[in-house]
Structure 1
Amino acid sequence: MKIKIQFIVLFLLLPLISWAQTKVSGKITDTNNEEVPYASVYFKNSTDGVVANEYGKFYLESDKSYSILVVSFVGYKTLEIPLTKNVNYDLSIVLEPDNLLSEVKIFTGKTSKKNNPALDILKKIWERKRKNGLHMFAQYEFDKYEKVEFDLNSIDSTYQNKKLFKGMEFIFQQMDTSKITGKTYLPIFVNENIAQVYGDNKNKRKKEKSLGNKNSGFDTNQHIIAFVKDLYADYNIYDNYIKIFDKDFVSPLSRTGINVYNYVLADSAFIGDKWCYNIVYYPRRKGELTFKGDFWVNDSTFAIKKIAMEASKDANINWVKDIYIEQEFDVVNDSVFLLTRDHFMSDFALSKKEQSKGVYGKRTSIYKNHKFDIKHPEQFYTEKVNQFDESIYTRDDDFWQSYRFEPLSKDELGVYKMLDTLKTVPKFRMLFDLTSTILGNYYYIDKYNFDYGPLFSTFGYNDIEGIRLRAGGRTYFGPNDKWRLEGYGAYGLKDNQFKYGISGKILLDNDTRLILYAGNRRDIEQIGVSLTESKDVLGRSFASSSLFASGDNTKLTKINLSTLGFEIEPLKNLKFETTFSYRTLRPASDLFNLNYYIDETRTETSNETKQSEIMASIEYTPKRKTIGYGVDRKDIDNKYLRVYLRYTQGLKGVFDSNFKYEKLQFYVSKPLLLGGFGTLTPILEAGKTYGYVPLGLLNIVPGNQSWFNIQNTFANLNYYEFVTDQYVSMHLEHNFGGRLFSRIPWIRDFNLREIVGVRGMYGKISQGNIDMNASSINYRAPEDIYYEYYFGIGNIFKIFRLDFSWRGNYLDMPDARKFAVRGSFAIYF
């Protein structure tokens, strides 16, 4: 009886519950049955509204009940549609031309830049943008609650009945409907973070201190964590460009917005007790990184009260079907508007088709308890190098109930329990492990806390070893391991020789990241393919292991390398390193030699180099962001400045070492985001060797005989074409990101990206080093500045890039390659 009463009460309440919501979707066309893109759609006498997409489609939802829907667009008569039900899907709306409209001239869908009141308001926003919000105070601080969520979307009955989910049907109990798109979705991951934020506008310092962090699982997977961190990217709607997924979208409030957006003054109304104007905006051209949407702006301070932004569906961005941003601002006093809520949502999918299934990535940030002009000492903002407080990740439920600014929905709360259960299902574990293996290039063996891999290094080929088979792995107890051992074994089917490498490292001090490392490798290597070589004792160049190569690939070297060193990071992103190494170098076959004269009469030679070295280096990487607190960390992205200085001293006589010399090397790189013009990446390298040394210890200009792009190498050079003991190298590459191709009607549909670049090298070789040479290599330095230039087409099938490279000079050298084609595979947004 009790169950029946509850059922009757629920049945009676259902109409009331559903009436508290209004849901509308549809498509807008004109009298010629042509789609009307970017029309403004809103509930009458409200600020709840959206802008239709490029195809005239829209979805609008509100927790309140409304009876009239208003649809308007410049050049058409405004239409009011009665809503007879609380849910009205798939409406067909036809707009009629407004032939009496004279205030705004319309031509080919674009609004006029003259006599447009929306542009007058926009100019006043520009004048006041640095006088609003947090910028009005010397110092500020506030509390921030942040929630990141991943959801499977477009879940229907057919999808639920797939064999893939057999045994996991319980997960569909947590399904919900998006208020933005109207699609059903299933939450699969939730991360929450509570933090205190402090800022000093005078000294341009900022600090964020986390008080608690909680997620619904997968906390040991570095790739998921890195992906989540990428959603944490900060952006400011008042900036000219908004960086999302490594792309610079033009902000609708940008000073360059007039050239890329149409603006329409659509409405005015009170929001709270503030009178605001409503401006609708949409792109002028297709294929550009732009938004469509609307914003409400105050009539006196010209501060944004509310803004909605949706990325253009034809924007040149991969794997992302939709991007939505909503921000709300509250009034602190008569003149200060502060951001109080920021909602970001992206729809990741393999296809941009409307019916394609994907994953929502959502971030909601809420800001409260603002305080101003509280000064802190300079050391307060000093960021700790490697701070890790485990208690932050183990807060109890009472903490979260008291600190959450916004309660979790029933479905979000259910995710925590659902995923704990899901991780016990063998089928899910298998699918999860398979995905992690493909992304991480390692297969994790839980029983032994061991990562087998890298998997993609299992097979290789070169002219000396023939087919090369490799197996290896590393210890792995978790993302914050204090120590790690790595090793591998390899065998060449042609030379019938076994090679190996082993290394270990341990984090001795967490606060300064003092790391001790050591290792040994005996292998065959293509030396001279990098000017600033890696300190990784197990590192092996792609030139030695690629399955496909062009030209002669016999100039390989047997190397026996042992290292012992330590590194320390006393200040965040400032690292010092010292390494002692000992190596022997011998030719890997009779087809090549490293011979050098060992007497003044130049009659005796040696084909083996024995050398001890001590190296000291400084590396500075400001604004570099990493994940992990153990001996290994991973970069979130690579768009930071890197400055590297290395000094090497050759120690003659130590362990039978042959030579005494000094070597100084410098490296600097910094990708530069140039707004809507793409990304410019300059790389500068310089170095000088003091003393006389044989071929194996000189600076060889790095050629590239593989069919793939290798950074900082020269595509048109063979190995050992140029040898130097002092050099300067410059690489310049500009990726337009599709800006030019988007202007070409047929080509822009492929979302290709154009790349241009030039690389050059100046070098010299001393007579003393030339006289020492007894190898088969004819020493020659690029004293006339060798250069090559190239044109690339990126984003082919979203994963492939093809470069066409031309040699600029030294065309008369033997076997000179005047033209080269190189490719590369990568996954980019």
Structure 2
Amino acid sequence: MVSGKVKDASTGRAMPAVTVIFPGSSISTKTNAQGDFELKSTAPQHKLQLNYIGFKSLVINIKSGQAQQLDLELSEDTQRLNEVNITTAKHGKYRNKDNPAVALIRKVIDHKAQNQMGNYPELSFKQYDRLQVSLNNLKENFPKKKLFRNHQYLFQKQDSNRIGGKLLLPVYLQEKLVQKYQTKNPDQEKTILLANKQVKFDSLVIDNQGLAVYLERMYEDVDIYDNNVLIATTQFLSPIASLAPTFYKYFISDTIKTSDTRLIELSFMPRNPADLLLEGKLYIADDGSFAVKRVFLTASNRANLNFVRGVEVKQEFSQLPNKRYYLHKSNIVLDFSISKEKGRGFTGERSQVIDQVETQIQDPDQIFAGKKQLVAEGAFNRSASYWSAHRLEQVSDSTLKIYENIDSLTKGKTFKRAMAVAGILFNGYYNAGPVEVGPFYTFYTFNSLEGLKLRLGGRTTTAFSTRYYLEGYVGYGFKDERWKGLASVAYALNNKSIYTYPQSFLRASVQRDTYAPGQELRGNTEDDFISSFRRGVNNRFLYNDFYKFEYVQEFENRLSFNLGFRRWTQRPALALDYYDGLGIDKDAITSSEINLSIRYAPQEKFYQGKRSRVAVNNRFPIFNFRYAAGIKGLAGGEYDYHNLYGSVNKRFYLSQLGITDFKVEGGYIFNKLPYPLLAIHKANQSYAYQINAFNMMNFLEFVSDHYASINVDHGFGGFFLNKLPLLKRLKLREHASLKAIYGGVRAENNPDLDPTLMQFQTNAAGLRTTYTFDRVPYVEGSIGLSNVFKFLRLDLVRRFNYLNHPDVPKWGLRAKFKVDL
């Protein structure tokens, strides 16, 4: 037996896919992603030969009858050819019928269920993951920048042929070791985090935990046996999916005799190179199992990918004593660039090793009892000796040095100043230690009621206190000459920041500000400069006074609730009037309510921003429920009522047809109420496209006391445009949406039937501008393009009915900032 590692003589990097053979025999193998190989022969062998395209062949003498461990190097072959002529006989059109390669892949597809690890009756194993991200393709003078002048140790040289470029600046490293258990019947899983270590940045600017979650999503597990493979949040059809022969071409390109079994090398490529498909090679075990033994995947160079310059996935499967295969090693490399193809970008590499695999679980009842995910004591503080003893593969000293190097960099004054600037640009806040000032995009706004509005705000950080958090702002409208503001104080029950997961706090707040009717019910009470630009007539506003108290609690299973009290006084302003059918004006409406909101988002992961969370989308639904009880006489409340609301969000992955986001919601309000306390439906009069609002509906156009709505937004991912000869070069993606809502107002709440009720709004010409739904739902739809200039989504929106209402548009062009990979 001969085993060893093969490296590039000039760079020292491991070389995968090198052919290793005993000359004169059919016994051969190829090196894995780490450059390792193992070759066995029962007959005497005296020589070993290594071959790789572009490198000189290497033949060495070996000792017969002995196990040998070798470290070998290959040198580049610098010989150049003056001229190459390639000719080929004409072949017929590619067909699936009578194609031995297609017959083979159909056998692989037929045996997927028995070969996929997730279908094993019982399985336990340890899994080691390492994820490294580096700034790549740097110019030679980049290390001379002031920020890095005293940190030359950060930079590394790289083989120019490797994805990413020559000069690297490693910026992130994470290692994780877990113990996993799974059974098929019943279907259950358990994960124990044994050790975790990662580079950490300033937590006041970057959510380190959220960054790890986001990167793990980008480099998610690749299971070749799934119908769809998710790489860099983009869905690719697997080459062994049930429908794969419809979209891929297959060719048997080689047979390889290894020490274990003979492998059939199956090359594949997309029928349409512009589709979101993969190309590469599968190595199929020719032992009757039709299991995948090795994988090499890349994305088609012409695929509609944004910012992604290169994709490589290499995987190796090992055989268990029961003859079934499991994923033993995986290596995923993604290269990103914001600018030109050869410009500066990022290279991320995830290496994974699975070992210590057992096909029987001892005492499964005890193993699967309790939580599905556990963290071992001390998992985030493991010593260097622990890591050295428990890593499932060797890691170079230069790689492990990244932890120390980045820690030294982040402590420098120059880097801290750079992070402060980044915090302002990306988070909207300037960090001043115990206080953050911002968000800066709310400092300047304008509207027809307030004219120019200036605002200044901020909040405290954990440097001020880990228990008490203060937040507030003050603003002034120069046209209405009124002050606005917010004052909030919160107490963290878990002694952690109230803005990070899991939230657990009590908060009391007082707020006075202006909003369009219905706007404050959308959960976004921020003014911003972009929202100041609006279409149509915008002359109805409310002066709002809010007094709130709330208890917020999140749990590890992604269940959360908000129990609170709210007193709301709303006063009509500008063209908005509150009057009944008898002509009696009402200056204000006051409601007091106790409310409970429950949210359940199974398996949800997110990046925690300064003001909100950026969800990392998955296939699991999100459930929301809210109940509010208005109490007359409580803190000046004038009405008794009950308000129920529920919604479900779900993302569907439809393989080559793209991704669909689906939302259904509904509500019911009990008791007799003036229409401002009914459901004022979510309109949008800005020029920004909003996914969860009706973009052609005017503010305060429709109200209901019972309603249901549906929202479907589908992205085709370039499915059609990729097939058009010229347009496909623009890498645009198609979108289509459909939104509909239907509801009504019961007789007891309909001002047309009761003159004592507050009347619906009319404009200066006496035409009504507020309505209930007739016998048909309100419907609007849109078609659009995303990836316009790489960061815009443009939608042409069409309103289909209720076009007789005053000042309503039939068509509209809306834009949304949207970055796709």
Which residue of 1 is the match for residue 455 of structure 2?
470
Is 1:485 paired with 2:470? yes
Query: Is residue 739 of structure 1 aligned with residue 719 of structure 2?
Result: yes
TM-score normalised to structure 2 length: 0.85
Corresponding position of 1:296: 283
**Residue 594 of structure 1: how far off its partner (Å):** 2.9
Shift of the 47–484 alpha-carbon distance from structure 1 to 2, 3 Å rule, reads farther
Q: Distance in 2 between matches of 1:403 and 1:294?
A: 32
Q: Distance in 2 between matches of 1:637 and 1:512?
A: 19
Identity of aligned residues (%): 26
2:334 equivalent to 1:346: yes
Is 2:193–2:375's contact at 8 Å kept on the other side of the alignment? no
Secondary structure (helix, strand or coil) at the match of 1:400 reads: helix
Q: Which amino acid aligns with 2:471?
A: E
Q: Which moved more, 1:89-98 or 1:359-368?
A: 89-98
Pairing 1:360-759 to 2, within 5 Å after superposition: 360-374=347-361, 375-377=363-365, 380=368, 382-383=370-371, 391-445=378-432, 447-448=433-434, 450-477=435-462, 484-508=469-493, 514-529=504-519, 533-534=522-523, 539-540=524-525, 546-569=531-554, 572-589=557-574, 591-596=575-580, 602=582, 604-626=584-606, 635-637=615-617, 640-759=620-739
Deviations along 1:361-401, one digit per CA (max 9) or x if unpaired, are 1111111111223152388364379x777832221111111
Letter in 2 for 1:528: G
For 2:480 and 2:273, locate their aligned partners in 1 and report how far apart those are by CA, in whole Å.
Answer: 57
Tell me the equivalent position of 2:127: 144
| Residue 519 to residue 822, structure 1, CA distance change in 2 (3 Å) | same
1:824 and 2:807 are equivalent in the alignment? no
Q: Which residue of structure 2 lines up, in the alignment, with residue 270 of structure 1?
A: 257
Q: Does structure 1 residue 782 correspond to structure 2 residue 766? A: no
- Picking from 168, 175, 199, the partner of 2:157 is 175
Q: 1:482 to 1:42 in 2, by over 3 A?
A: farther
Residue 230 of structure 2 is matched in structure 1 by 243
Once the two structures are superposed, what CA deviation does each residue of 1:175-234 show, in whole Å capped at 9, x if it has no partner? 344784383333222111111111121232222211111123327321633432323523
In structure 1, C-alpha distance between the alignment counterparts of 2:465 and 2:256, rounded to whole Å:
53
Give the structure 2 partner of residue 33 of structure 1: none
Change (3 A) 1:581 1:92: farther
Q: 2:315 aligns with which of 327, 339, 344?
A: 327
Which residues of structure 2 form unaligned runs of 5+?
1-5, 23-27, 38-47, 60-73, 496-500, 763-767
Question: What displacement does 1:66 show?
Answer: 6.4
Instruction: After TM superposition, give the deviation of residue 241 of structure 1 in Å.
Output: 0.8
- Structure 1: gaps (5+ residues): 1-14, 26-39, 51-59, 72-79
Q: Which range moves more in the overlay, 150-159 or 632-641? A: 632-641
- Structure 1 residue matching 2:722: 3-state secondary structure: helix
Residue 105 of structure 2: aligned partner: 122
1:520 maps to amino acid: V
Task: Give the SS at the match of 1:147.
Answer: strand
- Return the match for 1:18 from 9, 20, 43: 9
CA spacing shift, 1:352–1:557, aligned 2, 3 Å:
same
Contact persistence 2:136–2:164 (CA under 8 A)? no
Structure 2: how far apart are the matches of 1:93 and 1:509? Answer: 72
Q: What letter matches 1:86 in structure 2?
A: S
**2-structure distance, mates of 1:137, 1:640:** 24
On the 8 A contact 1:613/1:649 being kept in 2, the answer is yes
Note if contact 1:24-1:88 (Cα within 8 Å) is conserved in structure 2: no
Give the aligned partner of residue 765 of structure 2. Answer: none
Which one of the candidate residues 83, 86, 104 is aligned to 2:75? 86
Q: What RMSD over aligned residues (CA atoms) do the two structures have, in Å? A: 3.5
Deviation of residue 123 (structure 1)?
A: 1.1
For 1:90 and 1:224, how far apart are their aligned partners in 2?
Answer: 46
Q: How does 1:47-86 map to 2 (within 5 A)?
A: 47-48=29-30, 68-69=51-52, 86=75
Which residue of the other structure, out of 808, 812, 820, is the alignment partner of 2:804? 812
Question: 1:544-601 deviations in whole A, cap 9, x for unaligned?
Answer: 9713111222211111111112244567123333221111000233x2223347xxxx
Show CA shifts across 1:265-321 (max 9, x none): 111112332111111112221221112211211002111111111112222222221
| Shift in alpha-carbon separation, 1:81–1:397, aligned structure 2, 3 A | closer
1:205 corresponds to 2:185:
no
Q: What's the CA shift for 1:329?
A: 0.8
Q: Deviations for 1:135-161, whole angstroms, at most 9, x for unmatched residues?
A: 463221111111110112224424445
SS at match of 2:709: strand
If the length of structure 1 is used for normalisation, what is the TM-score? Answer: 0.84
* Offset at residue 44 of structure 1 (A): 7.7
Superimposed CA distance per residue, residues 53-112 of structure 1 (whole angstroms, 9 cap, x where no aligned partner): xxxxxxx996899665469xxxxxxxx9979981246966976556458xxx454xxx43
Q: 1:94 to 1:22 in 2, by over 3 A?
A: farther
The code of the aligned residue for 2:136 comes to: N
1:762 and 2:753 aligned: no
1:32 corresponds to which residue? Answer: none
Q: 1:258 to 1:524 in 2, by over 3 A?
A: same
CA contact (8 A) 2:163 2:347 kept: no
Q: Which amino acid aligns with 2:814?
A: R
- Whether the 8 Å CA contact 1:479–1:630 is kept in 2: the answer is no
Per-residue deviation at 1:647?
1.7
Q: Please tell me whether the aligned partners of residues 122 and 359 of structure 2 are also in contact (alpha carbons under 8 angstroms).
A: yes
Return the letter of the residue paired with 1:815: D
State whether residues 483 and 631 of structure 1, in contact with CA within 8 Å, keep that contact through their aligned partners in structure 2.
Answer: no
Partner of 1:606: helix, strand, or coil? coil
Secondary structure of the structure 2 residue equivalent to 1:671: strand
Which stretch shows the higher mean deviation, 563-572 or 739-748? 563-572
- AA partner of residue 345 (structure 1): V
- CA 1:43 to 1:454, structure 2 compared with 1: closer, same or farther past 3 Å? farther
